[in-house]
Each structure stands twice: as C-alpha cells, then as structure tokens.
Amino acid sequence: MAYEMIRDMIMSGRALPGTRLILTDLEQQLGVGRGPIRDALLLLDKSGLVQNIPYKGAIVMLPPGYREMELIYQQRCELEAALAEEAMRQATPQELDALEQTAKEMEAAGEETYFFHVDREFHHRLYQLSRMPHLVSVVEHLMDFVQAFLTLRAYSAEHKELFNQQHATIIAALRNKDAGLLRTTLQENIMVGLELVREEMQRFRR
C-alpha cells in the first residue's frame, strides 16, 4: 500500500522531481508506518523513480519517458533472447520440468496475485538456466525500471491467457531446441510489456 501511494504521488506529479521524501511527512500524509514506507522507498529506488542518498534521504527522480522505455525494451529483447538460447543449450530435462511447473503455477494464479511478479519469476528462472549470473543481473536491473509501471497493474484475462500461451511455446521451443521459435516468441512476450507500460503512462498523464 505504501509503495502504491508513493508511486502514485510521483507518477501523477504531486511529488515533483527533486522533492525530498521525508519519512515523518509521509507517515502523516499516508497514514502508514515508517517501516513499510522505508521498504517502499527501497523498491522505488530500484525502479528509478526515487534515489536514496546517504545522509540526505530519498529524492524524487524523473520517471523514464516512453522513448527511454522503448530503448530499455529493445535492449531487453536482445539480451534476454541470448540468455534464453544459452539456457536452451545448458538446461537439463529436470530443470525444464521445474520451469514448466512455474508456468503452471502462473496459470493457476488467482485474482489476488499481482501477475507482474509471477511473470517476472518465470523469466528469472528461465535466464538462470543460462549459467550466466552477471548478465542475468543486468536483465534484472532493466526489469526494475519497468516495475513501477506494472507491479500493481491489474492484467486482463486476455493478457494473462496470451502470456501463458507464450510461456508454453517458450518451454516447447526449449525442449525441441528450436532457437528461432524461442527467440521470436520470447521477444513477442517481452514487447507486450511495452504496450502495457504505454497504457500506464497514458493513464497517469490523464
């Protein structure tokens, strides 16, 4: 709740870039305890909306613009496709079984589950199979910039079905060693996220 309220303050322009986010003020404004506010500010720092500066506190940053988001997604497509292809070469059948189980858990996720989080977990587990932890950490950082826009979004049933179908195709391509299908489907899956980000940006501009 603290994350959502502070994020909305920033995205709507009620907390302008350069503004200091003071814990005591946020407690009074939001009616939320200091611990959850600290946790929320740490998450917002990862997403690029806030910068936590030692001895100064949290400062509001300018959110990424749509053009910057486009470039982030272009970089994600190339890097994540490369990691997925490496995962295809490295993963054991048992590891692919575990990844498929993660996908099935996504399909069974209830309405109370934030879909962004389970989708991100699927991608994280996929890229870990590449045995390239340094590049995986780069992907995680790029995904952090997206988090502020999608972490609390209510995904439609159609989008959930599309993501689940794409994940099933990705797993099939991994098993069949079909690099072309793997790259194409994964990149299509990633770029759906950019459209969702665009919709969120428009919502806050209103």
CATH number at residue 72: 1.20.120.530
How far, in Å, CA of 159 to CA of 149, rounded?
A: 16
The pLDDT value given to residue 86: 98
Structure tokens at 61: 């940053």
pLDDT for 151 equals: 85
Cβ neighbours around 26 below 10 Å, total: 23
Tokens of 98: 């575990």
Closest CA to 127 of 140, 142, 115: 140
For residue 67, the 8-state DSSP code is H
Q: What's the pLDDT tens digit per position in 22-32?
A: 999 999 999 99
- Side-by-side strand order, sheet with 57-60: 20-21, 57-60, 50-53
14 shares a domain with 102: no
**Range in 41-45, 62-66, 80-84, 201-205 the model is least confident about:** 201-205
**Average pLDDT estimate for 38-56:** 90
Shared domain check, 125 and 185: yes
Tokens 């990149």 correspond to: 187
Say whether both 28 and 113 belong to one domain: no
For 157, the domain range is 66-205
Q: How far apart are the first and last CA of the chain?
A: 22
Predicted confidence at residue 112, as pLDDT, reads 62
Q: Are residues 46 and 28 in the same domain?
A: yes
90 plus 166 within the same structural domain: yes
Handedness of CA 173, 175, 178, 183 (dihedral sign): positive
Could you tell me the pTM of the whole model? 0.84
Task: Count structural domains, the chain.
Answer: 2
Whether pLDDT at 20 is above 80: yes
**Same structural domain, 9 and 98:** no
Residue ending a domain, among 40, 60, 80, is 60
Residue 50 has pLDDT above 60, yes or no: yes
pLDDT score at 34? 92
Same domain, 70 and 102: yes
Query: Is the domain of 185 the same as that of 94?
Result: yes
For residues 96 and 197, membership in a common domain is answered with: yes
| H or E, element range at 53 | strand 50-53
Tell me the DSSP string of 84-101. Answer: HHHHHHH--HHHHHHHHH
| Shared-domain flag, residues 135 and 33 | no
For residue 62, what pLDDT is reported?
86
Residue 206 above 60 pLDDT? Answer: no
Q: Tell me which of 60, 81, 105 is where a domain ends.
A: 60
Listed residues 43, 60, 77: the one ending a domain: 60
Name the one residue in this structure whose structure tokens are 């001895």: 55
Residues 150 and 102 in one domain: yes
The enclosing domain of 9 has a CATH number of: 1.10.10.10
Is 71 in the same domain as 56?
no
Summarize the confidence of residues 82-98 as an average pLDDT: 98
